[in-house]
Each structure stands twice: as structure tokens, then as C-alpha cells.
Structure 1
């Protein structure tokens, strides 16, 4: 297995070439020292043989540090629209209830590298913090969380904020969105229904008063709307 790495911001280059045997490391190339190293006794004879071949060592070093980097940059340029796209995260502070932990949720970002940090009254705070796993979104972006576990009274007395860094840019969230769905709806819904029923009753009563003022009189009679009280009796 071999490959190379290039940091387009710092210009730093790195590369590796490794060999394995039966699922274990057998040999790897140390580019700085230009020699192969074996972590197991069985690989030492091979390492010594390859290290004595200076021409092959130089070829490996030249390819990994130069040609491999050039091809990597070409591939990045070919796929620039997708490989080098950057989408900043949306950051929110979420809490199920006033006694629940506070979760800093970052989503919709690309590429996947993000860092979380918490602030307490403007100072760094790294206690009682749990970092969640990186998860993919359906659109190819990513999401990740960091949870702050503090007591409700500590949240009330102090101001906490979450800072998310992505691709050299930072976003800060300091307003906690709490899900109050457990404590509020019952009273509100019952009150709303009572108000609706009351409005319907008032509406019906008002309509009847309005019709009476217009001289409305209930109609009784046949289906054709006549006011006659006489009815035709069928004959046998």
C-alpha cells in the first residue's frame, strides 16, 4: 500500500509505502531516513536487502515525494467542483427540557473536518463534554454533535456558547432552543378548545338575535314552504 498527501494551505508533503504479511505490518519506507524498516524479526533480512539497493530507494523516494504529488494535484483539479467544494455548517444549541443536557448540533457541512469548543462566560470550558460521531447526510454533507452535561442551576447562572470551526471559519451558537412540548400544550390546547366552543355558542346566539330583529319567524308547513296549517288527508 502506498500513497501521498499534500496540504494546499501549508504546502506540506507526506507519503508512505507499506507492506504487510498475513494481516500484520511487515515493512515500511521511512522517507526522511531513506530506508525500509521492519517491525518484525522476519522482515529484517528483506529490509537490509532493499536498503542496500540505493538506486531503488532513490526511485521510490522520487516518485512518492514528486510524481505522486503532481498526479494528486491534477486529480484534485479535475474534480475541483466536487472534491474541493466547501459548505459551512449550520450550528444550533438544542435541549429537550430545562433539566436535559445541552447539545451543540452542526449539520450540512462539507468537507467532514470540524472542531467543537465550549465557552463559559467567555472562557474556554472543556469539562463535562461528550463528542458525538460524524454522521453523513443524504445530500453528501455531514453532521456532528457535542453535548454539554451541566446542572440546570449552572445553566441559569452562567452563559454557555458553542464554537464550531470548519475550514478556517468559525460559527458560534449561544441561544438554547428548548423543546417545551411536554409542559405547555395540554393547558394551551384545552384553553384553545374552550375558546373555540365559546365563540361558536356566541356566534349562534348572535345570529338568532339578529334574525329576530329582522322579523324572522320559524316556518312550519309542507315541504313547498307554504304557511298553511292544513294538510291533505289521503283517501282510502
Structure 2
């Protein structure tokens, strides 16, 4: 059940992570878990436009940069200070998850306490937006939103230290975001073309068009028969992260050897890094066969999922953003004080 939930969240993340070019985002996520083996009990990650730049977990107990530009633009004591703050957050979250279990009369099982906060900046209109969510076992328990269009402010939700949060989310956070976008411009705006190959386990297996090593994430992979787009017998896989920060995707076509001789099949890959589309013709010369292809692909998927979950824990973000975009808010609590105010978004270890 846990694996299925993570997979669902991961799919949601990939669906909502494609933001419009004019909107820049900075997000901070902290997650505490109880009863989940083989992963850190506490993880915090900071991201700009979906790219992790800071990371801390309860196993390594230190904050580390995930981007070269982050290492170069901070003072020598930044990571030492941030590690200290992260450790305090870790203790606070563990205490809060224990209190929540007592509040809901829970004595065991798997439980999660999540906090996501951050800001968005539209560099065309100048509008800004901030948010600060807490969730326990996937349910909202505390939320605060603030938006500024021109000189007009709007705020929803109640929270302790509201003025402090508003100042951080729409002033300090936006300032940090603009600074980070400036320093990370070469990383965030880079374009890396995909490597495309046709793969097949044996002549009776589906043919897979595999594109990998591309950035940014958005890509189109399609099949054609005699020049016409083909949708039947086509299975499009998920876009998965590679460990180097690029992405991969596959699309499989079930076609018989007889049809391959009668019709002309092609796989077309479109990506913003390409001056012209990559078109692979489905013929014996182009197809690479490997009896272990299915196993190799399974390993690749596992690596991608582990990278997404443990390196950046961005699946948590997808879950919260999905609820926000869909207007979902199933659970709230009148006991706002049950959350330790010291673990509020404004005092994050991932500045």
C-alpha cells in the first residue's frame, strides 16, 4: 500500500511540475515519518523551479548543496548554520509527530508529518504568492496563503505569527527566489538534447522508443504509421529523473513483424533543445535487441524513483500542490497550537 501511494504521488508530481515559463518558484519541504523502514525519519529539501538546491536528512545530519551555484554564492559558514537549524527542525518535527499520534489515539503504524512552504513570482506581471501548509497522514491540519498583485494584498487561513509569515513568504522569500534564479540561470535555463534509441527484447516483443539524458523535462514522444500519428497499441511511460538531473521517458509500440514489412513505422521525439525532431525509422538496422531489456528497464525505473524520493523528496510537493490546484482541503483542526510554532516555515533550515 505504501509503495502504491508513493507511486501515485510521484505521478501527480510529474503532472503538475510543468509550470509556465514566466512563473518562478521556490519551495521548501520538510517531512517526518514514523514506522517507515529504510528511509530517513526526517528530510528537508529546498528547490528553485523544481530543482533541488539544498538537502538535509536525519541520517547524514548536515545540510549539503545540490547545485554548484548554491555552493558558490554563500558565505563559508552558511552550511554550518543551516545544519544547526535543520537539527532543531528535526527534533521539533519528531516531537510534533509524537504529539499528533497521541492526539489521534494512535499507538503504531505508518505516519507522516509534512510541511511545505514557499513562494511564486511571475516575472512578467510582477505578482507574487506565498503558502505554508502542514499535513498529517496526508490531511491538511494547518494552511496559510498570501498573494500580492500590484499593491493589493489578499490572505487566507489563520496561523500564529501571521504578520511574520506574510513578511517572509512575500518579501524575504521572493527576494531569495530572485537572487537564486539569477545565480542558477545557467542551470535552470539549460537545454540538453535527448539520446534516442529503439529497443526490443526479441522480435515478438513490443518495440520501445527510449529517450534519455534530456533537460528540461517537457518532451513529446509519438509513433507514426505511414506518416499518420498512431495511438492504438501504444503505451507511453512516465517521465523519470536520472541521477545527473536529466530525464528519461519511453514509449512502447506493439507491432507484428509482418506489419513492420508492410507499413512504415517511425518514432518522433520533440524537445526544446532540438533544432529539428529526432525521427527513428522502425527497421532491423535501427532496433537494438537485448534479452535483459525488461530487467534493465526495471532497474532504471527503480533508480529514478529512488532518486526522486530520497534525493529530493519532491513527491511530497506533488501531493500538496495537487490538493491546492484542485481546491481539496479535507481536514482541518481547531487545535492549531498542536503544531510546534518553532517549526514554522519562516524559520526553515533551508534558506
Structure 1 length-normalised TM:
0.53
Partner of 2:281: 175
CA contact (8 A) 2:195 2:213 kept: yes
- The Cα of 1:128 is off from its aligned counterpart by 2.1
Whole-angstrom distance in 2 between the partners of 1:160 and 1:66: 54
Structure 2 length-normalised TM:
0.38
Say whether 1:35 aligns with 2:150. Answer: no
Structure with higher Rg: it is: 1
- The Cα of 1:2 is off from its aligned counterpart by 0.7
Partner of 1:79: 184
Partner of 2:220: 115
Whole-angstrom distance in 2 between the partners of 1:96 and 1:175: 17
- The Cα of 1:77 is off from its aligned counterpart by 1.7
- Segments of structure 2 that go 5 or more residues without pairing to the other structure are 1-115, 148-153, 292-351
- Segments of structure 1 that go 5 or more residues without pairing to the other structure are 37-46, 183-236
Partner of 1:69: 174
Q: How does 1:97-116 map to 2 (within 5 A)?
A: 97-116=202-221
Aligned with residue 19 of structure 1, among 119, 128, 134: 134
Question: Structure 2 vs 1, CA of residues 108 and 22 (structure 1 numbering), >3 Å: closer, same or farther?
Answer: closer
Whole-angstrom distance in 1 between the partners of 2:219 and 2:196: 11
- The Cα of 1:104 is off from its aligned counterpart by 0.7
Secondary structure in 1 matching 2:213: strand
Partner of 1:90: 195
- The Cα of 1:89 is off from its aligned counterpart by 0.7
Question: Structure 2 vs 1, CA of residues 124 and 65 (structure 1 numbering), >3 Å: closer, same or farther?
Answer: farther
Larger relative contact order (C-alpha < 8 A, sep ≥ 6)?
Answer: 2
Question: Structure 2 vs 1, CA of residues 12 and 158 (structure 1 numbering), >3 Å: closer, same or farther?
Answer: farther
Q: How does 1:155-166 map to 2 (within 5 A)?
A: 155-166=260-271
CA deviations over 1:149-182 (Å, ceiling 9, x no partner): 2233333333222232333756332323234799
CA RMSD in angstroms comes to 3.9
Question: Structure 2 vs 1, CA of residues 180 and 29 (structure 1 numbering), >3 Å: closer, same or farther?
Answer: closer
CA contact (8 A) 1:161 1:172 kept: no
Partner of 2:237: 132
Whole-angstrom distance in 1 between the partners of 2:223 and 2:129: 33
CA deviations over 1:44-70 (Å, ceiling 9, x no partner): xxx4xx59x9x849x72x754565334
